[in-house]
Structure 1
Amino acid sequence: MIMQRNVFEGAPIAVGSAEGFKERMRRITDSMLDEGALLTVNYRINGGYAPWFALRVWTGREKSVEKTLEAMGVRSLVPMRKGPYLRRRGRVIEGSMMPVIHGYVLVQMMAVPEYLAGLKGVEHAIDVLGGCEQPMRLTDAEVNRFNVLACGGVYDWERPVDLVLKAGEPVWVTEGHFRDQKGIVVTPNRNGRGDVVIAIMFMGREVPVTVPLALLRKL
């Protein structure tokens, strides 16, 4: 008869460590982002331009995530535009600044899955558009052009656009995170200004996105 030993040998992992799971993961995240940011900077200094990726974040936290990444040395950008005018007691108040596309921060980093995965550890970040293995990329020139158009007021809420859309119409995204993607209008716009909600088929599922009317053209 074989006797079984109920004795554990060796030392349990992480027992007695003062560092908790969240702290350990945050340390790993910070380390990966530091390494990725350094390589990206060195690559740019030597004349190269690392690709840009869209990091999906909590809506309303875009600038907060941008500041966090910049503080860590990670180049990031939230293209901004003027929001709708406010009309109160006969006065017209100029709209406040808002992201061109809500819920996303553009990040420039070397295309290494481990570095991109580190972005998800940043507070208020959700995931990388397209996934860390095969993310959707933007070139440095595309991002610069998109930001120049935004700064020039092309996507401002009150800027009139000669385009009327109806629900169910197919459209094409001309710039930004979803550049060259086809979408279907969900929420129509007959005012010739402001935003439109479209659904983009991405990675086998429909992704709803709110974009300026000026960012679209009919197919």
Structure 2
Amino acid sequence: MTMQRDKFEGIPIGVARSESFEYRMRRIRAEMLPAASLRTGADSPWFAVRVMSGREIAVYEALDEAGIEAVVPMRMGPEYRRRGRKIPASKIPVMTGYVLVRFFASDQAFLAIRGFEHVIDVVGGCMSPHRIPDSEVKRFKALADGGDLNWERPVTVFKRGEKVRVSDGPFASFSGEIISCRNDGKGDAVVEMHLFSGTVPVLMPLAILEKI
């Protein structure tokens, strides 16, 4: 005969302290921050952190304030025209939805990074994070600072459905398929890429794409 139990032992996470999920994440982040702020060598690899679109600078500033090394390569965005008036281009992140972060890799450090507001995850996950060579990050930032990745700069014209390979940046050597882009060789393209977590659409500059 099978006996059924109508009670359980233990206390649900957070109930004992009446913690909300947001408060609990802030507490965990605060406890783990010292691990994430440990500096590495000058040639140590970087990690790509996926963040909410439009929150790249906010995440960068929060990381920087916490003493964590981070960078968001910037470029000149598009020019706009409204009611016949030309609005000059302004600086925007090269990679929408991503911040590059460098720290001494540990479980505690990854938990701290994931606990920041607007952070979605570390590319590749905590178990097998995608490591980006320092030389590639320096090269990518130099291209951005030199204007080679500016939105208005014409490059190769791509079409929807074309197979491409990423030439520079955090996803250099990865390949994918163009989902959408302009037909004048300017701006960005939505590329469906096969990353560690599966197929993911990524918005990236046409300037770092090559046809294959």
Q: Please give the per-residue CA displacement for 1:87-143, whole angstroms capped at 9, x wherever unaligned.
A: 234443221211111011110011223311221110111100110110111122211
Cα deviation, residue 204, structure 1: 5.8
Of residues 177, 184, 187, the one that matches 1:194 is 187
Matched, 1:144 2:147: no
2:180–2:189: 8 Å Cα contact kept in structure 1?
A: yes
1:82 correspondence with 2:76: yes
For normalisation by structure 2, the TM-score amounts to 0.86
* Aligned residues of 1:51 and 1:111 also touching (Cα < 8 A): no
Query: TM-score of the superposition, structure 1-length normalised?
Result: 0.84
Distance 1:189 1:71, change over 3 A: same
CA distance in 2, matches of 1:189, 1:35: 43
Q: 1:128 aligns with which of 122, 132, 138?
A: 122
Question: For the Cα contact (< 8 Å) 1:51–1:110, is it kept in 2?
Answer: no
1:23–1:169 CA distance, 2 compared to 1 (3 A)? same
Q: 1:60 aligns with which of 45, 51, 54?
A: 54
Q: Following TM superposition, by how much is the alpha carbon of 1:166 offset from its aligned partner in structure 2, in angstroms?
A: 1.4
Report the Cα distance in structure 2 between the residues aligned to 1:12 and 1:36, rounded to whole angstroms: 28
Aligned partner of 1:173 in structure 2 is 166
Give the aligned CA root-mean-square deviation in angstroms: 2.5
Which residue matches 1:6? Answer: none
Counterparts of 2:201 and 2:12, CA distance in 1: 46
How far apart, in 1, do the equivalents of 2:50 and 2:14 lie?
32
Q: What's the secondary structure of 1:70's corresponding residue?
A: helix
Q: 2:154 maps to what in 1?
A: 160
CA contact (8 A) 2:35 2:108 kept: no
Mark the CA change 1:132 to 1:12 in structure 2 (over 3 Å): closer, same or farther: closer
Question: Could you tell me the percent identity over the aligned residues?
Answer: 46
- Count of residues in correspondence between the two structures: 205
Among 66, 72, 75, the alignment partner of 2:66 is 72
Q: Secondary structure at the match of 1:107?
A: strand
Q: 1:191 to 1:21 in 2, by over 3 A?
A: closer
Identify unmatched segments of 5+ residues in structure 2. Answer: 1-10
CA deviations on 1:61-93 (whole Å, 9 max, x unpaired) are: 100000000000001111111111112344432
Q: Secondary structure at the match of 2:128?
A: coil
What is the CA distance between 1:17 and its match in structure 2? 4.9
Which one-letter code corresponds to 2:187 in the other structure?
Answer: G
Which stretch has the larger CA shift, 195-204 or 124-133?
A: 195-204
Q: Max radius of gyration: which structure? A: 1
User: Does the residue aligned with 2:129 lie in a helix, a strand or coil?
Assistant: coil
Gaps of 5+ in 1: 1-10
